[in-house]
């Protein structure tokens, strides 16, 4: 699903049906949002969403964490979009700082497994910025490993494709009312393969037609364990004084694995390395010429090379 279609879908799902109708109950049951999670596993994949009650936040989690009773543990997730590295220390009896150490982003998470996770996006804010104070950063391990560079006028992390054209790989849509960060599937697959990790998408979506006047009388709770699609969630539907379904909560996580088999990933990896070599040696228009000259056991002509000094 493209980024524009994702935004259209988010907007459509945020439209509130008339309270007390069958459509309103269906809206609270959130089947459409669960389908949205399935539909956005390919093409341009949302990493971070903040849109009218919908929150999706993604992290890289080592594959070996998915052992034993990991579902109950991960259901305790409590990640913030500004989670990052920090430091900690304590004081000894003399009032001197001791035990000084760096702290990983999720060191104090209620989920023990998430303490091994790595955030992908970082919501940051700086009062010294002109205009909007908040902005999105992307994990450098991801951008450097995949040769991505931030292009401000496109608001995206980009690279050159095989034709020498700019390819937008990680797109950022950030306004005061909405945030959407997406990544192309092939780049995500590449990174998951290299890092031996999975993409863990944490989600929380709360719905109500009128939070100010809502008063809960009762609630209906259920659990969702979709092993086939690797979606696990807790769902709550709350009833008002008239015993009408009025508010809803869906909170859980989705696991997304590398889509391609190991043999294909190895092939892509090795071809990609050769392409990278040509990128470093020549301008895009001369890659084919250099490849042909190498095949014919000829040395590339000097004018094929970029003139660089180090």
pLDDT in tens, 131-166: 889 999 999 999 999 999 999 999 999 999 888 899
Tens digit of each residue's pLDDT (9 = 90 or more) over 23-77: 999 999 999 999 999 999 999 999 999 999 999 999 999 999 999 999 999 999 9
Same-domain status, 151 and 295: no
The per-residue pLDDT for 303 is 41
Let me know if residue 101 belongs to a domain.
Answer: no
Q: Which of 259, 274, 293 is the last residue of a domain?
A: 259
- Closest by Cα among 71, 170, 52 to 120: 170
Same-domain status, 70 and 176: yes
Let me know if residue 15 belongs to a domain.
Answer: yes
Confidence of residue 250 (pLDDT cuts 50, 70, 90): very high
- Phi first, then psi, for residue 153 (nearest 5°) are -70, -20
- Alpha carbons 90 and 96: distance in angstroms, whole number: 8
Please state the pTM of the whole predicted model.
0.83
The per-residue pLDDT for 214 is 79
Write the CA distances from 157 to 58, 117, 167, 170, 194, integer angstroms.
17, 22, 9, 5, 19
Same-domain status, 135 and 278: no
Same-domain status, 120 and 210: yes
- Alpha carbons 23 and 16: distance in angstroms, whole number: 9
Same-domain status, 121 and 253: yes
Same-domain status, 179 and 39: yes
The per-residue pLDDT for 307 is 41
The per-residue pLDDT for 142 is 97
Same-domain status, 267 and 171: no
Let me know if residue 90 belongs to a domain.
Answer: no
Let me know if residue 214 belongs to a domain.
Answer: yes
Name the CA dihedral angle for 185, 190, 195, 201, rounded to a multiple of 10 degrees.
0
Largest CA distance in the chain: 84
List the Cα angle 124/130/134 in 5-degree steps.
Answer: 20
More confident residue, 217 or 42: 42
For 306, the 3-state DSSP assignment is coil
- pLDDT tops 80 at residue 280: no
- Phi first, then psi, for residue 215 (nearest 5°) are -130, 120
Confidence of residue 1 (pLDDT cuts 50, 70, 90): confident
Let me know if residue 92 belongs to a domain.
Answer: no
Let me know if residue 88 belongs to a domain.
Answer: no
Same-domain status, 166 and 240: yes
- pLDDT tops 80 at residue 286: no
Confidence of residue 306 (pLDDT cuts 50, 70, 90): very low
More confident residue, 267 or 222: 222
Q: Residue 215 has which token pair?
A: 């008063």
- Alpha carbons 115 and 78: distance in angstroms, whole number: 11
Mean pLDDT lowest among 9-13, 133-137, 167-171, 281-285: 281-285
**Strands, E assignment, 30-116:** 44-51, 54-62, 86-91, 97-103
Task: Provide the residue range defining the domain that includes 192.
Answer: 3-82+108-259
Same-domain status, 235 and 276: no
The per-residue pLDDT for 186 is 94
The per-residue pLDDT for 184 is 97
239-246 LR contacts (CB < 8 Å, sep 24+): 240/214, 240/215, 240/216, 241/215, 241/217, 243/217, 243/218, 244/19, 244/20, 245/24, 245/25, 245/28, 246/19, 246/28, 246/208, 246/209, 246/214, 246/216
Let me know if residue 98 belongs to a domain.
Answer: no
- Mean pLDDT over the full length of the chain: 87
Same-domain status, 112 and 149: yes
- Closest by Cα among 100, 65, 105, 57 to 81: 57
Number of domains in the chain: 2
Mean pLDDT lowest among 78-82, 202-206, 207-211, 284-288: 284-288
Let me know if residue 99 belongs to a domain.
Answer: no
CB-based contact 304:286 (threshold 8 Å): yes
Q: How would you classify the pairing of strands 156-160 and 149-151?
A: antiparallel
Confidence of residue 208 (pLDDT cuts 50, 70, 90): very high
Which residues sit opposite 255 in a β-bridge?
200
Q: How many residues does the chain have?
A: 310
More confident residue, 226 or 85: 226
The per-residue pLDDT for 101 is 86
Confidence of residue 279 (pLDDT cuts 50, 70, 90): low
- Closest by Cα among 191, 190, 170 to 181: 170
Name the CA dihedral angle for 7, 10, 12, 15, rounded to a multiple of 10 degrees.
-130
Same-domain status, 303 and 251: no
Same-domain status, 138 and 285: no
């Amino acid at each position: 699903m493209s980024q524009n279609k994702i935004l259209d879908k988010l907007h459509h799902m945020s439209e509130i049906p008339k309270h007390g109708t069958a459509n309103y109950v269906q809206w609270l049951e959130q089947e459409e949002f669960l389908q949205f999670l399935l539909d956005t596993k390919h093409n341009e994949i949302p990493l971070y969403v903040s849109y009218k009650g919908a929150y999706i936040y993604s992290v890289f989690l080592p594959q070996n964490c998915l052992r034993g009773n990991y579902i109950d543990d991960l259901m305790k997730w409590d990640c913030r979009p500004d989670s990052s590295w920090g430091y900690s220390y304590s004081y000894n009896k003399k009032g001197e700082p001791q035990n000084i150490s760096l702290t990983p982003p999720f060191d104090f998470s209620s989920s023990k497994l998430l303490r091994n996770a790595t955030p992908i996006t970082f919501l940051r804010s700086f009062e010294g910025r002109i205009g909007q104070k908040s902005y999105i950063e992307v994990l450098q391990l991801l951008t450097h490993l995949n040769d991505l560079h931030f292009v401000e006028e496109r608001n995206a992390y980009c690279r050159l494709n095989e034709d020498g054209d700019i390819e937008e790989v990680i797109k950022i849509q950030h306004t005061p009312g909405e945030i959407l960060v997406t990544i192309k599937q092939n780049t995500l697959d590449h990174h998951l393969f290299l890092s031996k990790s999975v993409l863990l998408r944490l989600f929380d979506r709360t719905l109500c037609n009128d939070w100010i006047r809502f008063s809960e009388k009762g609630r209906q709770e259920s659990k969702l364990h979709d092993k086939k699609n690797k979606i696990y969630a807790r769902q709550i539907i709350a009833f008002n004084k008239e015993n009408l379904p009025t508010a809803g909560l869906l909170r859980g996580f989705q696991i997304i694995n590398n889509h391609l088999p190991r043999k294909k990933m190895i092939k892509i990896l090795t071809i990609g390395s050769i392409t990278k070599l040509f990128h470093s040696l020549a301008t895009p228009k001369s890659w084919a010429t250099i490849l042909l000259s190498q095949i014919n056991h000829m040395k590339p002509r000097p004018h094929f090379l970029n003139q660089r000094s180090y």
